[in-house]
Structure 1
């Protein structure tokens, strides 16, 4: 029987650092769940990164959409827990959009980029160039230079800026 290739992850952080406190908290099984430490870590990674990992590996369509919905549900549940435990009231000024993005709204590129620039017409572009047609809409402050720089830095951090 062929041996299954596995990936090993090891996390060591000073106990008194923020990372160490998070790892120690997860290890303590704070909610008394039946999952062990490695299952909680793996579930956390999946909640946060699975849709992006599958997208970057080429998955598209309904299956990716369903996985995205599941992951968002998991993250929203965690947000709710954090709000309740920390006594944080949702900001009434923050409005989330439930505008569906159609597959035809996504501008394809040679290398898929999760963090593209989202224009005012809800299209996602994986280039760093702004549409020349949208020059008259620049007053709306949709993408400030600071936000643009943050997006560029994030792309660079994950290696998504490479052609």
Structure 2
């Protein structure tokens, strides 16, 4: 397993640690949970950079990376909603997008079609979702307004992915 894939796997393995720290009440637990989430976001950037720069792109990584993204986003936004730090509608938008993309990826993969690469709008949506979630976790009030960018980008990227998946199936 190469370094990029190890970093991706670490994002998946850190989810239970994040949840424990997020929900167990102690002084600065949300700040620590925010730091862990921030580090998870950095590994997301780093694994992609390493994979592309050092020619470590692999089929395993192409499957694990989006899975790690989806698991992280769904977990963090559910945690935020359970603690009533975000409105439920934000959670529903995020879950819908992540489930649509994950379902589409599974269907594409099972039909032997190459994995659909993320679009720029999808990358921006993920970035702004990370910023939004981080700001809600650490209660960084000013940056909570990033949700005004994150949600439209999330919706557009979900629609974009559906169009690409449909086109991939039609064109083979």
TM-score normalized with structure 1 length: 0.36
* Higher RCO (C-alpha under 8 Å, 6+ residues apart): 2
Q: Which has the higher helix share?
A: 2
Q: Which has the larger radius of gyration?
A: 1
